[in-house]
Each structure stands twice: as C-alpha cells, then as structure tokens.
Amino acid sequence: MFLTVRDLTMRFGGITALADVSFDVDEGRITGLIGPNGAGKTTCFNCITRFYQPTSGAIAFKGENLLDCPPFRITSRRIARTFQNLELFGTMTVLEHVLVGAHARFGRELDERTATSNALEILEYLGLAGEAHKPVRSLSFGARKMVELGRALAAKPELLLLDEPAAGLGHEEVERLGETIGRIRRDFATTILMVEHHMALVMGISDRIVVLDSGRKLAEGEPSAIRGNRAVIDAYLGTS
Amino acid sequence: MRLALVACGLLVALLPWVIPPFVTFQLTYVAAYAIAILGLVILIGYSGQISLGHGAFMAIGGYTAAILLAGAGIGYWVSIPLAALLAGIVGIGLGFVALRLAGVYLALATLALAASVPPLLKRFKALTGGVQGLSLPSPHAPGPLQPFVSSETWFYYLTWALAAVAFALAWFVLRGRVGRSLRALRDSEIAAVAFGVNPVFYKTLAFGWSAAYAGIAGAIIAIVTAYASPDVYSVALSLELLIGVVIGGLHSFLGAILGGIVVEFLPLWAQKINPAVESVVYGVALILVVIFAPGGLAGGLSRLARALRIQATPRSRPASTIEAISEKSA
Ligand SMILES: Nc1ncnc2c1ncn2[C@@H]1O[C@H](COP(=O)(O)OP(=O)(O)OP(=O)(O)O)[C@@H](O)[C@H]1O
Ligand SMILES: [Mg+2]
C-alpha cells in the first residue's frame, strides 16, 4: 500500500477535527479529498506532513510508519505539499522558492548549479520561465499558486498533496490547472492527493474520491459513484 | 563589482599612509564593529531573530583574548579564534533558548544577558581583574616589519584582513542553500520546514555564528586598546550595535560596514553637535532612517544606484534588496 491512513483522530481541546478516519491512496493515482468547510481536510494534510501530532491512529507511507518522522524530514520521504493559504517567502524570487523546494535533495542528488538548472526547467514547465528572477510578491495570485506548485515539484515528490489548488482562480485558470495536474502525474510519475471544492475539476481528474464531513469519512469511491451517493449529496454536493 | 572590491581593498590598504595615526586607530574600530554587525545582519537580517545582547558576546571574546594574552601569554593568532569559538558556543546555547522565545521575549532575554555581563565581570575578580579590568601587551608588528609599520597600522591591517575573511566566509556560505534556508525560515517557517529546512539547526547556527563574529570583534577591541574592562561591554554597547545595524542596513553586507562607521563615528559627531544631547542625536538618526530609508543606508544607496542605472538603461530587471546583495557579489 502506498499511503494508508488508519483510524486517524485529531482533537483540538473540545473540537474533534478528525474522528477515526481511514482511507488509502493508491500509487500513481489522483485521489480527491472533498467535503464541506471544516470537514477536516487540511487537518488531514497537516497530520500527514507531521505539523499535527494525531490524537490517535496510524499513517504509513510505502509500508513505513510516518508518525515517527519530524516535519522537516517529510520531504526526504518524498512527500511535498502546497498550502491552502499561500505560504510563500515574501522576500524571495520565484527561482529561490523552487530552490528551497529542492532543499532536501542537496548533497547527494544536487548541488547549487544542477538545482538551479532543474528549477529553471520546472519553471519553464509551469510557464513561469519569464518570472524566474522576479520577486514573488510582484506576481498575480494565480502565478503565486503556480510557484507553490513549482516549489513542491522541486522536491521530486512521490506523493504530492495539493490543498485547494483551484481556490481563487478564474475559469480559464482552473481549466489549465486541471491539464497541468494531469501532466504532472504523468511527467513526474507522482501520486496526487488533492483537496478541492471545485467539483468539476475534482470529479474530472480524480481516479478516486474520499469524502469527509465533520471529521468523519462519509464515503469513498469512484467519482461517478460519489456523484450519485445520497449521503454525499445531502451533506455536501446538494448545498454547493 | 570586482572592480569596486579591488578599489575598496586598495583604499583600505593605502589609507593608513595618508591619515593621522589616531584615525587609523578609529578605522580599526570600524572594522571590528563591522564584523560584529555582520553577525547581526546574519542573525536579524537573514534569520529574523533579534538580539539586544551582542555586547555580551563581545565581552566573552574580549575577556577570552585578554586572559589568554595577558595571563597565559598566548599570541593573538590563537587567542582570537579561541575567543570566536567560546563566544560561538555560548551563542549556540542562547540559540537553543531563543527557539522557545519569540519576539519581545527574546529581546528581553538577550537584553538581560547584556545587562548581567558587567556585574559578573566585576564579581569574578580572580579571573577578570574586577572593576580595574585587565591590561594586555599592546600588539607590535613582527620584528622585521617594525621599523616600517607602527603598531596602530599593523593592527589596522590585521583587523581589516580579519574583516575581509569574515565577510568572504559569510558571502560564500549565505549566497547558497544556507542563506536561502535562513531567509525561508524567517519568511515562512511552516513552508521552510515542510521543505526540509531543519529549524533547530539553522536558527542555532545563526545565533552561534553571529555570536562568534561578536566574539572576534570583542577580542580585537581588547587587543587594540590593550585593555579589557567591564564598562567597555555595557548594555549601551549592545544597543549601539543594534542601532548600527538598523542604520547601516539589516539586509546587506555593505550595511554592516556602514553600521561600523555609524557606531564608531556617530557618538563623536553627536558630541560635536551638542554634547548634552548625544543620545537624542542617536535617536533622531535612527528615526530618520527607519522612516526615510527602511533598508538602512545601504538600502538607500542601492536604491539610488538602481534609480541611476534605470535612467541610463530604461529596461533593467527589478531587484529586491536581497537580490541587490547577490548582484553585488556576482
Ligand atoms: N490548530 C487548530 N486548532 C484548533 N482547531 C483547529 C486547528 N486546525 C483545525 N482546527 C479545526 O478543525 C476543524 C477542521 O478544520 P480544517 O481546516 O481541517 O477544515 P477543512 O476541511 O480544511 O475546511 P476548509 O474547506 O474550509 O479548508 C475546524 O473546526 C477547525 O476549526
Ligand atoms: Mg482546508
């Protein structure tokens, strides 16, 4: 099994953000993680990337326990993420962001020179070649989201976690994003777990979907099955 | 850029032959302060941690050098590195404390450190000479050079050479992954950690490194004045360093040198303006810089240079302050 989440529970004081959530992510697939606001999707990402220590439960990646891994070692395990609310480095250029993404690969795999040429290739791939030396704060919102993606790709992730990549993007940008994510899965041979509220996007490109609601898993299955699932329609799709 | 560096090097090399010995002495101080302030550029500018107590590390460096030189007769070739090492180790220790303290609490803790140093020095008389302090042999040029080079000039050269090494090392280390990691932690610790930057390692590294530089500066000042006393390393010294780095420019190497000039000469200028209100002049200078040149004098200069360049070539690429550093180094 690639990524397995078992009986994951996360409590903050009186709030139970996740309650006994279990699901698997298959290698090479795109898995969508959906659910209403406050369902626990980002909390789930934060548990996987070790920013939160779950109250109970288990997370394993490629058969190895992930919960004994400190947060700064997660990229060495080949897991990279983007953030729902952009977490960019305010004083850095676009290129520097991508170089930070490759931080954990320095030494054995990369030096400054190869890392820079790799980073420029990634920027080219994402259509950001012209912005490489611009400070990130001079970029549009959509371009900033692409920088987040580029930074994550520089880590050469086997598992890529995308937290609402389409949020705040215009119609055309979302369409292009869908294509880009599909291309990334193929060209970077990576598995993707994606949180998204944009139903057309998530239903369109996911192989499998996990639905959370108020910290519980509501349903899991192929997009077509999820679209017709009564409980999911009542809790989420119907209202959105 | 290379040309500018060579020009500066020549200027530094030739100055002692045309200026009075006392000014040579003052410029030695400038170099020492510049090393300490470069430490603050690394700590505050790059890693985003505050210290109001770097005078304490200068004290550690100064007394280490004084005790080794005066007490044990160990030469400054060995004393200065040991001063750096000891200050660096204490700095790493403080770095671990700093991991648990943010913002204003860290400022207070480092201020407390600075305030506790003079009393401690007075207390442990046997080692530190108490209130009187320690006298040490004044530095002479090596035998064959003595007829040509005065001891001021000799130590001027030595100090500027040390500064050159300190700056070159910082440039070399900070231009790549280490500098990026420090800035990443400062700008968004969450994202930096998510991409593998070990926050404990880099933050304590910044503290230890900057403390070591302060230690070198402290040692130089003890050696050049042939004297170490508790009052040299007062809280005021820590605050002057901080004012120096803010006025010089928090994010640039040039700012560290300008900061050194400020720390050495601003009190003298202030006294000339009006001896009664020296600290007011300090305060006004600080406020003017914070309002009109947020990047310090160095930031102001690089903006000016960019403006001139843009006028000359209408389509130059935009540069941030940080980029300005790497441009300068390119
Ligand atoms: N650090 C925290 N401290 C306290 N409560 C938290 C914390 N992080 C998340 N929560 C709570 O956990 C619940 C789930 O939040 P989470 O951010 O995971 O939702 P989400 O599914 O990502 O929602 P959205 O679609 O709005 O992003 C919410 O009630 C939230 O307030
Ligand atoms: Mg969320």
- Residue B318: its chain A contacts at CB < 8 A? 134-135, 138
- Residue A90: its chain B contacts at CB < 8 A? 187-188
The pLDDT of residue B151 is 80
Q: For ligand 1, is residue A91 a contact (CB within 6 Å)?
A: no
Q: Would you list the domain boundaries of chain A?
A: 1-78+157-240, 86-155
Q: Does B330 touch chain A (CB under 8 A)?
A: no
Q: What is the pLDDT of residues A109-143, one digit of tens each?
A: 899 999 999 999 999 999 999 999 999 999 999 99
In chain B, how many domains are there?
Answer: 1
What average pLDDT is seen over chain A? 93
Identify the residue whose tokens are 């403080």. B94
The pLDDT of residue B1 is 73
Rounded (10°) angle between helices A94-101 and B177-187? 100
Is residue B62 a part of any domain in this protein? yes
pTM: 0.90
Cα(B155)–Cα(B160) distance, integer angstroms: 8
Quick check: A83 and B192 CB within 8 A?
no
- Tell me what the mean pLDDT of segment A206-211 comes to: 95
Q: What is the pLDDT of residues B10-66, one digit of tens each?
A: 888 888 888 888 888 899 999 999 999 999 999 999 999 999 999 999 999 999 998
Measure A105 CA to nearest chain B CA, in Å: 9
Is residue B317 a part of any domain in this protein? no
Q: For ligand 1, is residue A12 a contact (CB within 6 Å)?
A: yes
Cα(B58)–Cα(B212) distance, integer angstroms: 9
Q: Phi, psi (5° rounding) for residue B277?
A: -120, 40
- Nearest by CB to B195, which of A92, A103, A112? A103
Is residue B191 a part of any domain in this protein? yes
Identify the residue whose tokens are 């050194």. B260
Cα(A192)–Cα(A29) distance, integer angstroms: 6
Whether residue A201 is predicted with pLDDT greater than 70 in this model: the reply is yes
Whether residue B315 is predicted with pLDDT greater than 80 in this model: the reply is no
| ipTM metric | 0.93
Cβ atoms of B272 and B263 closer than 8 Å: no
Closest by CA to B261, choosing from B213, B298, B293, is B298
The CATH code that applies to domain A1-78+157-240 is 3.40.50.300
Whether residue B319 is predicted with pLDDT greater than 50 in this model: the reply is no
Is residue B48 a part of any domain in this protein? yes
Cβ atoms of B208 and B60 closer than 8 Å: no
Quick check: B190 and A133 CB within 8 A?
no
- Tell me what the mean pLDDT of segment B298-308 comes to: 81
Q: Which helix (H) or strand (E) is B309 found in, with range?
A: helix B296-312
Identify the residue whose tokens are 């990026």. B180
Whether residue B318 is predicted with pLDDT greater than 60 in this model: the reply is no
Is residue B36 a part of any domain in this protein? yes
The pLDDT of residue B322 is 45
The pLDDT of residue B313 is 56
* B206 vs B317, higher pLDDT: B206
For residue A212, the cross-strand partners are A217
Instruction: Count Cβ neighbours within 10 Å for each residue of A50-75 and write b for 16 or more, e otherwise.
Output: bbbebeebebbbeeeebeebebbbbb
By residue range, what is the domain housing residue B100? 21-142+149-234
For residue A32, the cross-strand partners are A194, A209
Largest CA distance in chain B: 66
Three-class secondary structure assignment of A58-100: EEEECCEECCCCCHHHCHHHCEEECCCCCCCCCCCEHHHHHHH
Helix, strand, coil shares, percent, chain B, to 5: 80, 0, 20
Whether residue B328 is predicted with pLDDT greater than 50 in this model: the reply is no
Measure B183 CA to nearest chain A CA, in Å: 8
Whether residue B326 is predicted with pLDDT greater than 60 in this model: the reply is no
Closest by CA to B172, choosing from B209, B225, B221, is B209
Q: What is the pLDDT of residues A41-95, one digit of tens each?
A: 999 999 999 999 999 999 999 999 999 999 999 999 999 999 999 999 999 999 9
User: Strand A159-163 to strand A79-81: parallel, antiparallel, or no bridges (unpaired)?
Assistant: parallel
Chain B, residues 280-319, CB within 8 A of chain A, namely 317-318
Cα(B329)–Cα(A198) distance, integer angstroms: 46
**Tokens at A234, concatenated:** 């009542």
Q: Which of A97-101, A233-237, B126-130 has the lowest mean pLDDT?
A: B126-130
Q: Does B126 touch chain A (CB under 8 A)?
A: no
Q: What is the pLDDT of residues B155-205, one digit of tens each?
A: 899 999 999 999 999 999 999 999 999 999 999 999 999 999 999 999 999
Measure B213 CA to nearest chain A CA, in Å: 25
Quick check: A74 and B199 CB within 8 A?
no
